[in-house]
Structure 1
Amino acid sequence: MDTMLKSKKRMVRGPKPGKSGIVSDNYSVASDRLIHHEGIRIENTYQLEPDEGKRFKSFIVEEEMRRILRTTLESQNYKDCMGSSLTTELANDIRRAIQELGWPRYKYVVQVVLGQDKNQAVQMGSRCLWDQHSDSFACASYSNKTIFAVAACFGVYFD
């Protein structure tokens, strides 16, 4: 069988002698190199909404984020070199704490903005495309004499 795939960069005619009949181009992965688990079968649940008691609760997430921001930043002074590692640490701590709340099938996106507090104005905005009945978000902020931080967590139900 002579199969032809066209790609933007090259044309591949398959199968070549000695190969297992796999045709690949720039954008695909040959399936003989993937690990297949024959015994595992996962069926779709078609559960389009979370159970009533298992919804993302913004007020609980906001309280957790405030607690984490306060405990991490209250003894910190702003330094230029610490921004990247501290925001990553804060985002990971917030995500871990929210995952421990036990809301199944939710995916979380956590964003932390950190800066030096010099009495300036800062605005943060976001836009999302989601189901307003099951998805939600929470925001929390913290500031001391030298640092300000704004954290946002988006909880998206994964059906």
Structure 2
Amino acid sequence: MVEGSDSYLIRPNHQHKFKPTIVKEYIHEILRERLSGVLYDPESVPELTRSLAETVKDKVKNAGFDKYKLVVQVIIGEQRGQGVKMTSKCLWDADTDNYAADVFMNESLFCLVAVFGSYYY
């Protein structure tokens, strides 16, 4: 093992720990930039969903959360005044793992993005 290497750590350093507040800000910023003024179009939603997931994942990866496995979930639907509920169930380490989520809505669509960060031991 190389001296000074952190490959043996089983807990992230404080500065590298997944920070939901920061991740939520990233999600909020990306959704506002990409979806403001966008109209719901069922033909373009699959590509828009993939693109948003990749953009969010890349932004979070570059934030320095070393050794975290990221899962990004994006849901886009047509805005018709309906309610939507989403639940998730995960088995994880409460000391190291966390998630962040944000919702964007305009007159035409709603979008929910959740990012799960699981520390890779």
Q: TM-score, normalised by structure 1?
A: 0.71
* Aligned partner of 1:94 among 35, 46, 56: 56
Moved more, 43-52 or 140-149: 43-52
Residue 44 of structure 1: how far off its partner (Å) = 9.1
Once residues 100 and 144 of structure 1 are traced to their aligned partners in structure 2, the CA distance between those partners, rounded to angstroms, is 28
* Aligned partner of 1:148 among 106, 110, 114: 110
Matched letter for residue 54 of structure 1: H
Once residues 133 and 65 of structure 1 are traced to their aligned partners in structure 2, the CA distance between those partners, rounded to angstroms, is 23
Greater Cα radius of gyration, structure 1 or 2: 1
Per-residue deviation, residues 74-133 of structure 1 (Å, max 9, x unmatched): 021011101100000000000000011011101100000000000001001100000000
Taking only the aligned residue pairs, the percentage that are identical comes to 34
Secondary structure of the corresponding residue to residue 75 of structure 2: strand
Equivalent residues, number: 117
Per-residue deviation, residues 27-79 of structure 1 (Å, max 9, x unmatched): xxxxxxxxxxxxxxxx9933110012210000000000011011100021011
Give unmatched runs, 5+ long, in structure 2.
none
Give unmatched runs, 5+ long, in structure 1.
1-42
Matched letter for residue 70 of structure 1: R
Quick one: higher RCO (CA 8 Å, sep 6+), 1 or 2?
2
Secondary structure of the corresponding residue to residue 64 of structure 1: helix
Residue 143 of structure 1: how far off its partner (Å) = 0.3
Secondary structure of the corresponding residue to residue 137 of structure 1: strand
* Equivalent residue, structure 1, for 2:80: 118
* Equivalent residue, structure 2, for 1:12: none
